[in-house]
Amino acid sequence: MWCASCETDVATELSADGQSLKCVTCGHEIRRVFAPTLHPETQSARDLLERWAREDQQSISEPAAESTTKPTAEPKSNPVAPPAAASKPAPAQ
């Protein structure tokens, strides 16, 4: 995008507040960004996603804290003997 301050075509990055695009060279605001609508249904969906993310983080950290029992060892299996060689018929004389 064109930066009026640098007077050249530059790369941009989103500002920390998410409201504008800034020149990566000088930090000058290139363009304002319009945030998505905060319609009640959109806000409700965002709240739900945030709650799920928090619950996922809690469920990941809780099992490690709750696990106080020593895991049981798996039973050892006896090795299986190879099949017996098929008996060959006696050679005909």
Answer yes or no: is pLDDT of 71 > 90.
no
Strand, helix or coil at 45? helix
Written as six digits, the tokens of 89 are 């018929």
Q: Which two tokens stand for residue 53?
A: 């993310």
Mean pLDDT of the chain: 77
Least confident range from 4-18, 24-38, 53-67: namely 53-67
Burial class of residue 6, CB neighbours in 10 A (0-12, 13-18, 19+): middle
Residue 34 in this model has a pLDDT that exceeds 80 = no
